[in-house]
Amino acid sequence: MVTADGERNVDLLVRDGKVAEVRAGIAGDGDVVDATGLLVLPGVVDPHTHLLLDTGTARTADDFESGSLSAAAGGVTTFLDFAPQQPDQRFAQALQSRLDLIEGRSHIDYAIHLNIAHLPTGWERDLAGLVDAGVTSAKIYTTYRGTIFYADDWTWYRLMTQARDAGFLVQVHAENDAIVEGMSQQLVDQGKTSLKYHAVARPGVAEAEAVGRGLLFSRATGSPVYFVHLSTPLAVDLIGEARRGGVQAIAETCPHYLVLDDSRYAQPDAARYVMTPPLRDRESQAQLWDRLSRGAIQSIGSDHCGFSLSQRAGIDDFREISPGIPGVETSLLLMHSFGVVPQRITRSDLVRLPWFACSAPIPRRSSDCGRKRATCSRVPTPTSSSSTHGQNGFCLPRTCTAARGFRPTKG
Ligand SMILES: [Zn+2]
């Protein structure tokens, strides 16, 4: 058994769906699964998935049944998905719309983050209602202006003025929209619209700038902030500096930024690798591993957003493709193969990451995490499959980020 403390040869007793005992020599007349020669790990909590995402211009290839099955096959026992807020929706309506799609269909545990794009009159009260309903996090998008996902700085900042007292965590898809738009237009003007230019159109400085803005908002409001799917060491370093100064910020990266690099965009099968932010160069990849191994990245999310290749067939224009790649089934395997096997991190490091049990330093209003029983069950050992509580007693409201997988449309 692999735990945060090391690896041991032990027996594990599960009673009523929960880990009841862990020690050598457990005997009894229950069903026995012989795991001799295998590794037993806690279930993965994937804090960032987009199953069944319909962007208006494209729909992911999976749904909550098939997506949760593939998650289970990859060792994931809990996923956190996003409820997009439509232009006319209050928070509770956005949540209910998403729950209507999930309830009764998932094969594993789940919880919801909202995607907040606007703040209707009376939203402060609605925020408290969300927390009471067990939703303690929401993502805002700093880019994709002109779509339902985009939130401007005033929306983002106002949300953060209330978040701390509400016990709410704001998550951020951090990309400076003007830089992305400007760079994209410059490429278009030069006739450079093929997928080869996908990463050029969304430079790392755009991410780092938006992260800097979020850190400032966090410092000014006292609210914690969680940056999803970080692709650049510069952004991670800004967060590290802010954390050392007392800012409650969390850095998430995704396996694809750790195992793939931007040379993929020059290949004929570039369409396989289109996500935002894009893949970066090999040096950035090595630096992300370095920061992960030093604890400077606190969270791993798959940012699963599974479009099929057939949906991208014949598209060789970075403006025309709905970004997003699958990952919920492969995250743990990739982190093991590319992290543990080459000894960049240990298996216990892997288990210590909050995707096994939340452990980010987010002080809550009370000792309880605010999630309802259905989405959060406090359990006594780190081997539990659905814990969202960390060993340090704090709870991380897991919220994803990017509403990937939609094609930004203008006008
Ligand atoms: Zn996402």
Question: pTM here?
Answer: 0.86
Q: Going by C-beta distance under 8 Å and a sequence separation of 6 or more, which residues neighbour residue 379?
A: 18, 19, 386, 387, 389
- CA R_g for the chain: 20
Closest CA to 79 of 392, 390, 332: 332
Q: In this predicted structure, which of 35-49, 230-244, 263-277, 374-388 has the lowest mean pLDDT?
A: 374-388
Distance 255 CA to ligand 1 centre (A): 13
Tokens of 3: 């735990």
Q: In this predicted structure, which of 172-186, 218-232, 295-309, 391-405 has the lowest mean pLDDT?
A: 391-405
CATH number of 45-393: 3.20.20.140
Instruction: Work out the number of other CB atoms within 10 angstroms of the CB of residue 309.
Output: 10
Distance from C-alpha of 223 to C-alpha of 313, rounded to nearest angstrom: 43
Distance 372 CA to ligand 1 centre (A): 23
Distance 227 CA to ligand 1 centre (A): 11
- The confidence band for 356, taking pLDDT boundaries of 50, 70 and 90, is low
Distance 82 CA to ligand 1 centre (A): 8
Distance from C-alpha of 38 to C-alpha of 170, rounded to nearest angstrom: 38
Total number of residues shown for the chain: 411
Tokens 């729909």, residue located: 59
Distance 38 CA to ligand 1 centre (A): 32
At 227 the three-state DSSP class reads strand
Task: Tell me the domain boundaries of the chain.
Answer: 1-40, 45-393
Distance 207 CA to ligand 1 centre (A): 14
Distance 325 CA to ligand 1 centre (A): 10
DSSP 120: -
Q: Going by C-beta distance under 8 Å and a sequence separation of 6 or more, which residues neighbour residue 283?
A: none
- Strand ranges for 283-391 from DSSP E: 299-300
Distance 48 CA to ligand 1 centre (A): 6
Closest CA to 318 of 408, 404, 401: 408
H or E stretch at 163? helix 153-166
Tokens of 186: 């410059």
Q: What is the pLDDT of residues 103-142, one digit of tens each?
A: 999 999 999 999 999 999 999 999 999 999 999 999 999 9
Distance 83 CA to ligand 1 centre (A): 11
Tokens of 80: 């956190």
Distance 277 CA to ligand 1 centre (A): 10
Q: Are 108 and 127 in contact (CB under 8 A)?
A: no
Q: What is the pLDDT of residues 12-50, one digit of tens each?
A: 999 998 889 999 999 888 899 999 999 999 999 999 999
pLDDT, averaged across the chain? 87
